[in-house]
A and B are shown apart, each in its own frame.
Chain A
Amino acid sequence: MISVKNVSKNFGSKIVLDGLDLEVPRGETVVIMGRSGTGKSVLLKLIAGLIPVDSGEIWFDDTEISKLKTKEMNGLRQKIGMLFQSAALFDSMTVAENVAFMLNQHTNYTKQEMLKIVDEKLELVDLEGVQNLRPAELSGGMRKRVGLARALAFNPDVILYDEPTTGLDPVTCTEINQLISDLHERLQVTSIVVTHDMHSAFSVGTLMVMLHEGRQLAHGTPDEIINIDDPILQQFVLFGAPDQILKMENPILKTYIGR
């Protein structure tokens, strides 16, 4: 569904992505992991068309994103929902206005129709009765949920999650992970999750990709990932992997745990 082909991105002299290749099949939840500064969030912004690629191509089905004009890109963006690291809710609007923003901008729905959709989307993320609150009145977890409801408002084909559990307490992290998994099952939506939280990665990912120094270091299903004998990958995975992974009878994991 989304193909990243030989993409490079520099900021000044700093090379962030260096000929990255990546495939995101339809209906999968692909977790992009890697250390800070390896270009995970930059990759999401490139896919969302927020910043241009320096070289390479990004394909969304049969459309190459980097060649689209602004108007065409805005049309394509209606198929993409994004949950930002900080949720990025509009401070000056209520929760309902935030969730209805895209509907208000791009459709001719009546106010009643929009409110009905807002209620549905908030129910999807297990939030009710917050329609008239301002973002400042919400907790971190609630803000992420509202951000997710806003991302879902236009029934996107793809949802991009930028560090969905950063800054949340462990209980809320687990709830958000569960929510991402539930949404994947219920809506059959394609998701790309950028995270360095291994608990989250193994909870939500059906496919995993490890980025290192701007390139793809490893990719595969969670089971395949823990069977790849690579010190950089295993060091990263073992630092935060959940107990069910660490306790697995896997010779490669045992080797690295032993070290």
Chain B
Amino acid sequence: MNRQSETHESNNGFRSLPILSRIKVRLHNVLSETGQAFTLFFQTLVQIFRPPLQFDLLVKQLLLIGVNSLAVVIVSGFFTGMVLGVQGYIQLKPYAVEGSVARFVCVSIVKELGPMITAFVLAGRIGASITAELSTMKVTEQIDALEVMGTNPVKYLVVPRFLACTIMLPTLTIFSTFAGIGGGFTAVVTLFDVNGSFFLLEAQKNLYVGSVLISLIKATSFGMAIAAIGCYKGFSISTAGGAEGVGTATTGSAVISLITILILDFVLNHILFNILGLV
């Protein structure tokens, strides 16, 4: 998978091509990279079920991804909930339905913003860090060294990160969701004349098992996507890519992860709400 970095010569050559040829080359590259990313994804799935699972590596990644991201996820969730509470109250008040602010905050946070905010935080924090770490290992021949020593790099490096992201994103989403509802509660109760008990009762009434399921399905999918993209971008750099290649791969990883999360969110919304009819 040493195809990502283009040399300056090939960039110059690319710029001199007519626009249609450029589009063709870009499209070819995108399709080729997507194919390689899916290949790595399926290799990872195969390796997950191939013993032995190295629990020490998994635990290390769970701590790194989960525990170290907990504070930032809670803070992001809390303030998103506060903003949602303030905006919701202001928008609903003219229609005299400001009592629905709890439902507004709760449903938005649980179904949409909880998993989304957590995924955004982890894409920037963990996805980029996975890419930076793996691409540096690639450039310094550490991944080649693993292979020479008879260790499968996908099994050793990708599987623990993939599993940790897949497990930790839903877990952190639960924290960010509670923090978001807490933020909405704090904002609405302290800034406006909404009764706290009423807010909590309304929130509880509008919290369905289906909604929580949607939230967790989304979070799990986002976690898989972030890990798969982070690992693929890290592995795709060429050994000759150097520091510039590591930087490009890291930025690319964060950007592609964020876009993928948005697209995936739309697709999952369509499947879960329109096709499966979950509420």
Chain A residues engaging chain B, CB cutoff 8 angstroms: 45, 48-50, 70, 74-75, 77-78, 80-82, 84-86, 88-91, 101-102, 105-106, 150, 154
**Contact call A74/B142, Cβ cutoff below 8 A:** no
**Contact call A88/B140, Cβ cutoff below 8 A:** yes
A-B contact count (CB 8 A): 53
CA distance A85 to B141 in the complex (A): 9
**Contact call B150/A45, Cβ cutoff below 8 A:** no
**Contact call A48/B148, Cβ cutoff below 8 A:** yes
**Contact call B144/A105, Cβ cutoff below 8 A:** no
**Contact call A82/B145, Cβ cutoff below 8 A:** yes
Q: How far is the CB of B164 from chain A (nearest CB, A)?
A: 15
**Contact call B152/A45, Cβ cutoff below 8 A:** no
**Contact call A84/B149, Cβ cutoff below 8 A:** no
In this complex, what residue of B is CB-closest to A106? B150
In the complex, what residues of B have CB within 8 A of residue A154's CB?
A: 149
A75 with B145, Cβ < 8 A, contacts A86-B140, A88-B140 known: no
CA distance A78 to B147 in the complex (A): 10
**Contact call A84/B150, Cβ cutoff below 8 A:** no
CA distance A49 to B146 in the complex (A): 12
A74 with B145, Cβ < 8 A, contacts A86-B140, A88-B140 known: no
**Contact call B149/A77, Cβ cutoff below 8 A:** yes
Q: Tell me whether B151 is interfacial, beta carbon within 8 Å.
A: yes
CA distance A74 to B137 in the complex (A): 20
Q: Choose among B141, B148, B150, B151 the residue that contacts A86 (Cβ–Cβ < 8 A).
A: B141
Q: How far is the CB of B81 from chain A (nearest CB, A)?
A: 37
**Contact call A84/B145, Cβ cutoff below 8 A:** yes
CA distance A89 to B145 in the complex (A): 8
Q: Choose among B148, B151, B152 the residue that contacts A80 (Cβ–Cβ < 8 A).
A: B148
Q: How far is the CB of B230 from chain A (nearest CB, A)?
A: 17
Q: How far is the CB of B160 from chain A (nearest CB, A)?
A: 13
Give the total of B residues in contact with A, Cβ under 8 Å.
13
**Contact call B142/A88, Cβ cutoff below 8 A:** yes
In this complex, what residue of A is CB-closest to B10? A12
| B129-187 interface (Cβ within 8 A of A) | 136-137, 140-142, 144-145, 147-152
**Contact call B145/A77, Cβ cutoff below 8 A:** no
Chain B residues engaging chain A, CB cutoff 8 angstroms: 136-137, 140-142, 144-145, 147-152
Q: Choose among B137, B144, B149 the residue that contacts A45 (Cβ–Cβ < 8 A).
A: B144
CA distance A86 to B144 in the complex (A): 11
CA distance A86 to B147 in the complex (A): 16
**Contact call A75/B140, Cβ cutoff below 8 A:** no
**Contact call A77/B152, Cβ cutoff below 8 A:** no
**Contact call A91/B142, Cβ cutoff below 8 A:** yes
In the complex, what residues of A have CB within 8 A of residue B145's CB?
A: 82, 84, 88-90
Q: Choose among A74, A84, A85, A89 the residue that contacts B152 (Cβ–Cβ < 8 A).
A: A74
Contact sample, A vs B, 9 pairs, CB 8 Å cutoff: A50-B144, A50-B148, A77-B148, A90-B137, A91-B137, A101-B149, A101-B151, A102-B149, A105-B151
**Contact call B148/A78, Cβ cutoff below 8 A:** no
Closest 10 CB pairs of A and B: A74-B150, A88-B141, A88-B145, A77-B150, A82-B148, A84-B141, A102-B149, A88-B142, A48-B148, A105-B151
Q: How far is the CB of B39 from chain A (nearest CB, A)?
A: 14
**Contact call A88/B144, Cβ cutoff below 8 A:** yes
In the complex, what residues of A have CB within 8 A of residue B140's CB?
A: 86, 88, 91
In the complex, what residues of B have CB within 8 A of residue A81's CB?
A: 148
In this complex, what residue of B is CB-closest to A154? B149
Q: How far is the CB of A10 from chain B (nearest CB, A)?
A: 13
In this complex, what residue of B is CB-closest to A102? B149
CA distance A2 to B144 in the complex (A): 20
